[in-house]
């Protein structure tokens, strides 16, 4: 079974105990997640939660004038739509597919019912939420204190951790929107990394050539986020 068609390729789904997995499986719906698709808009009530397997979703905070900046990324380690089970049912952020792929979704009611059971699912989702909050906080610190070059390296590494391969399909405009900077800044930053032999960027495709080099060039923020996810989330399946 390919990664895109196997729900167990998502770490949260793979961590479900056997009883919960048997209950969830008939409810999971496989979905395509094309580049640029908006999974939910700011302030709107969520109808589903999403579990990416091969896609990556960017959580963006959107200003009144339409400007946006990324606050977190979600891929095969997690779930999109935590506000639904945290009690708010809506959020001021927007969720946009930043790297095309596939995933699975559950309806809002099924997700809320599972959370309200107050069993293993609740504890798993709360640990994931803590990891996601860490990523959001570290992103805010990184955007304030570190260079665009370091931010771009952090963003590339976090995205790579959520993909099978070493290539991202991404336009400069989308990257600029994610990082909250001008396209010219992204162009300059990408060219620096390319000249250093770390990436190859052409026509919206970013191929990472030297991951170790990226890790050496980024700031501490990447390691903080990665360590927290590794600490809080299971690394092996529970089924």
pLDDT of residue 42: 86
How many Cβ atoms are within 10 Å of 123's Cβ, its own excluded?
A: 10
Specify if 236 maps to a domain: no
**Does residue 49 sit in the same domain as residue 116?**
yes
pLDDT of residue 238: 44
Mean pLDDT by 10 residues, the chain (239 residues): 78 93 95 94 90 94 80 94 84 89 95 88 93 92 86 89 81 70 76 90 84 92 92 66
User: φ and ψ at 89, to 5 degrees?
Assistant: 65, -10
**Does residue 130 sit in the same domain as residue 210?**
no
Sign of CA dihedral 153, 155, 160, 161: positive
Final residue belonging to a domain, choices 115, 142, 169: 142
**Does residue 129 sit in the same domain as residue 166?**
no
**Does residue 87 sit in the same domain as residue 172?**
no
pLDDT of residue 110: 93
**Structurally, how many domains does the chain consist of?**
2
**Does residue 33 sit in the same domain as residue 121?**
yes
User: What pLDDT digit, counting tens, does each position of 45-101 carry?
Assistant: 899 999 999 999 999 988 778 777 888 999 999 999 999 888 777 788 899 998 889
**Does residue 114 sit in the same domain as residue 177?**
no
Q: How many CA atoms lie within 13 A of 174 on its CB side?
A: 21
Specify if 233 maps to a domain: no
Specify if 238 maps to a domain: no
φ/ψ region of 67 (left if φ > 0, alpha if ψ in -120 to 50, else beta) reads beta
pLDDT of residue 119: 86
pLDDT of residue 235: 67
Q: Domain of 151: which CATH number?
A: 1.10.10.10
**Does residue 22 sit in the same domain as residue 120?**
yes
**Does residue 100 sit in the same domain as residue 86?**
yes
**Does residue 130 sit in the same domain as residue 161?**
no
Final residue belonging to a domain, choices 126, 142, 158: 142
pLDDT of residue 190: 83
Residue keyed to tokens 């060219």: 191
Specify if 239 maps to a domain: no
**Does residue 83 sit in the same domain as residue 120?**
yes
**Does residue 150 sit in the same domain as residue 138?**
no
Range of the domain at 55: 3-142
How many Cβ atoms are within 10 Å of 117's Cβ, its own excluded?
A: 11
* 6: three-class secondary structure by DSSP: coil
**Does residue 56 sit in the same domain as residue 85?**
yes
pLDDT of residue 66: 74
Final residue belonging to a domain, choices 88, 116, 142: 142
* 17: three-class secondary structure by DSSP: coil
Question: Which pairs count as long-range contacts for 138-143, CB under 8 Å and 24+ apart, including other chains?
Answer: 138/221, 138/224, 138/225, 139/70, 139/71, 139/72, 139/221, 140/71, 141/221, 142/219, 142/221, 143/69, 143/179, 143/180
């Amino acid at each position: 079974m390919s990664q895109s068609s196997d729900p167990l390729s998502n770490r949260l789904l793979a961590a479900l105990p056997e009883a919960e997995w048997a209950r969830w499986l008939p409810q999971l719906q496989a979905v395509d997640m094309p580049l640029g698709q908006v999974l939910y808009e700011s302030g709107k009530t969520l109808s589903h939660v999403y579990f990416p397997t091969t896609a990556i979703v960017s959580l963006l905070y959107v200003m009144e004038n339409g400007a946006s900046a990324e606050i977190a990324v979600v891929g095969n380690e997690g779930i999109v739509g935590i506000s639904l089970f945290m009690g708010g049912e809506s959020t001021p952020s927007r969720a946009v597919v930043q790297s095309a792929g596939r995933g699975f979704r559950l309806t809002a009611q099924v997700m809320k019912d599972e959370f309200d059971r107050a069993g293993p699912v609740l504890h798993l989702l709360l640990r994931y939420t803590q990891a996601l909050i860490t990523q959001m906080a570290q992103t805010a610190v990184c955007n304030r204190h570190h260079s665009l070059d370091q931010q771009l390296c952090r963003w590339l590494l976090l995205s790579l951790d959520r993909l099978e391969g070493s290539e991202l399909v991404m336009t400069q405009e989308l990257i600029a929107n994610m990082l909250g900077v001008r396209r010219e800044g992204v162009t300059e930053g990408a060219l620096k990394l390319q000249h250093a032999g770390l990436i190859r960027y052409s026509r919206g495709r970013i191929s990472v050539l030297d991951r170790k080099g990226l890790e050496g060039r980024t700031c501490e923020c990447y390691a903080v986020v990665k360590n927290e996810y590794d600490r809080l989330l299971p690394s092996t399946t529970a089924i």
